[in-house]
Amino acid sequence: MKQTYLLIILLLSLSLKGQNALDFDGSNDWISIQDQNSLDLLANDNISIEFWFKTTFNGFKPIINKFDTNDGFRGYGVALYGGGVLGIAKIGNPGTFAQINTSTGGFNDGNWHHFTGIMLGTDPNNYKIYIDGALQTPTIRSNNYTGTLTNSVPLRIGSDASTYFLGSLDEIRIWSKGLSASEVNSQWNKELTGNESNLVAYYNFNQGVKNGNNASVTTLNDATSNNNNGTLNNFTLNGSTSNWVDGVNFSTLSTQNNILASPISLFPNPSSNVIKFNNLTSLKSYTIYNTLGREISKGNISMNETLDISSYSSGLYFLKFDNGNTFKFIKN
């Protein structure tokens, strides 16, 4: 009986890890999604866009957009910029747009990162970007939006009609609402069903055989009922690039709900040298993971003890106690 349970647990954990993403070659791979009313948002509508991305490219690359290139790029979209900065924009009458970028970059480090961009109306002071679930300090790139937003061009993934994304994308979601902080926190690190309200398009990319021959898998499925399915263009669809590939591993990081419930607190955060804990009532075993779910270190800690993180690379980490409580911290 015990062996049966162990086998079931093993199969469950294997199936959690078995989800896919799509790799883009940077030269001509892109996905087109036909213009539809559900994708046509109004200037004053609230829009949220989420996705996982992995790239080492340093420079401008479009990620997802519905820009009309024959009308001053009227529409909305998200792009990667030099230095690994991410930005989100609404563009109205030619030359007028509302855009924020992350004020720090480095998200082109070859690891999976999650992006949430939220645009409330046309004032970029009301826009937000979260990376890996953490609210970023934005830089307003433009605040002169006027006119309408809607157009009749396709939604594009991985292209703006002249430049092409290099790297992998997964879990793309477009919402016709502004996600709340608690919604961002509860759903960035897991898959959704597609039935969530105001979700206008959702691509989980769980298609094809990773790194296999996928010549016939040329339609990207929308998991919502809006049928915003995409057509893959110019992908090789065989091998480890320009094909359906391994997706982000959610299974080791799927303990987000414990973060809010825990009375234990971690400080200082961010930190460059050491972290400590308040309200640790007993010696506790911990494991530290990076955003890929890779184990970085493990040990035991009690109240008033310090944990040395000075040798870690800059970035976001997860510390998980063996009772399941998980904390995020940032190494500066």
Q: CA-CA-CA-CA torsion for 123, 125, 131, 137, nearest 10 degrees?
A: 160
Residues 73-132 that bind Ca ion (CB under 5 A): none
Residues 31 and 157: beta-carbon distance below 8 Å: yes
What's the closest the beta carbon of residue 29 comes to Ca ion, in angstroms? 5
Residue closest to Ca ion when measured from CB atoms: 247
Cα–Cα distance, 59 to 84 (Å, whole number): 7
Q: In terms of CB distance, is 23 or 29 closer to Ca ion?
A: 29
What's the closest the beta carbon of residue 250 comes to Ca ion, in angstroms? 9
Contact pattern for Ca ion over residues 233 through 252, marking x by CB under 5 A? -x------------x-----
Contact pattern for Ca ion over residues 159 through 188, marking x by CB under 5 A? -----------x------------------
Where residue 293 falls (left for φ over 0; alpha for ψ -120 to 50; beta otherwise) is: left
Cβ neighbours of 140 (radius 10 Å): 14
Q: In terms of CB distance, is 101 or 159 closer to Ca ion?
A: 159
Cα–Cα distance, 125 to 142 (Å, whole number): 10
By CB under 5 A, name the one of 16, 26, 40, 212 that touches Ca ion: 40
By CB under 5 A, name the one of 13, 28, 34, 314 that touches Ca ion: 28
35 lies in the binding site for Ca ion (CB under 5 A): yes
Cα–Cα distance, 177 to 240 (Å, whole number): 36
Residues 185-214 that bind Ca ion (CB under 5 A): 204-206
Binding part of the chain for Ca ion, among 23-31, 53-61, 217-225, 264-272 by CB under 5 A, reads 23-31
Which of 29, 81, 28 has its CA nearest to residue 59? 81
Q: In terms of CB distance, is 156 or 331 closer to Ca ion?
A: 156
29 lies in the binding site for Ca ion (CB under 5 A): yes
25 lies in the binding site for Ca ion (CB under 5 A): yes
How many residues contact Ca ion, by CB under 5 A? 13
What's the closest the beta carbon of residue 303 comes to Ca ion, in angstroms? 40
Secondary structure (3-state) at 287: strand
Binding part of the chain for Ca ion, among 5-13, 32-40, 219-227, 250-258 by CB under 5 A, reads 32-40
What's the closest the beta carbon of residue 49 comes to Ca ion, in angstroms? 16
Secondary structure (3-state) at 124: helix
Cα–Cα distance, 125 to 191 (Å, whole number): 29
Contact pattern for Ca ion over residues 133 through 152, marking x by CB under 5 A? -------------------x
15 Cβ contact partners less than 8 Å away, ≥ 6 residues apart: none
Quickly tell me which residue has 């050491």 as its tokens. 274
50 lies in the binding site for Ca ion (CB under 5 A): no
What's the closest the beta carbon of residue 165 comes to Ca ion, in angstroms? 11
Between strands 61-65 and 75-81, the pairing is antiparallel
Respond yes or no on whether the N-terminal peptide bond of residue 270 is cis (omega within 30° of 0).
yes
32 lies in the binding site for Ca ion (CB under 5 A): no
CA atoms within 13 Å, Cβ hemisphere of 227: 2
**33, 52, 207 from 220: Cα distances, Å:** 9, 16, 8
Where do contacts with Ca ion occur on this chain (CB under 5 A)? 19, 25, 28-29, 35, 40, 152, 170, 204-206, 234, 247
